[in-house]
Amino acid sequence: MKALRKMFTLTALTATLLTSGCASIVGDSKYPVNVSSTPSGASFTVQNKDGVIVHNGSTPNTVTLPSGRGYFKGEAYTIVFKKDGYADTSAKLETSMSGWYWGNLLFGGLIGMLVVDPMTGAMYKLPAGAAGNLGSPLVAEAPKDLTLLEIDQLSPNERASLVRIN
């Protein structure tokens, strides 16, 4: 009976190690990203590599984003910041290899390294934050109204300040 229990424990332990990925166990496949801007209060949209908007909001904010987009493919995002009176700006958010992925050499085995972590996206990680600097405020726009007058509707001082254009 003891031999059967030891065999069962050993089999369960071996199956767990062979069917799990180290990065899947220790790391994650979705990461919180702090989105900020200077000045704050800007609206933002997050687009994935395919150009699909996956989130929008206003700064400051925290967005949880998946790090993978398919088997052995890391995701990349573009964050576009907009605020009235400022020029739009954008920031890139790229994935990088998770250090926990290499733990498969010790703990997760080939199944973790070649199947589990690449499929779940756990082999990749995202930066903790993304920021957009909108710069200085733009110069106020000139009024868009246009008033046409005849010359006799102008005062003598206004007529004196006119410049002839040829």
Q: Does the pLDDT at position 111 exceed 90?
A: no
Determine phi and psi for 149, rounding to 5 degrees.
-130, 155
pTM tops 0.85: no
Domain ranges of the chain: 2-160
Summarize pLDDT for 27-46 with one digit per residue, the tens: 566 889 999 999 999 999 99
Sign, CA dihedral 6-7-11-17, equals positive
pLDDT, averaged across the chain: 78
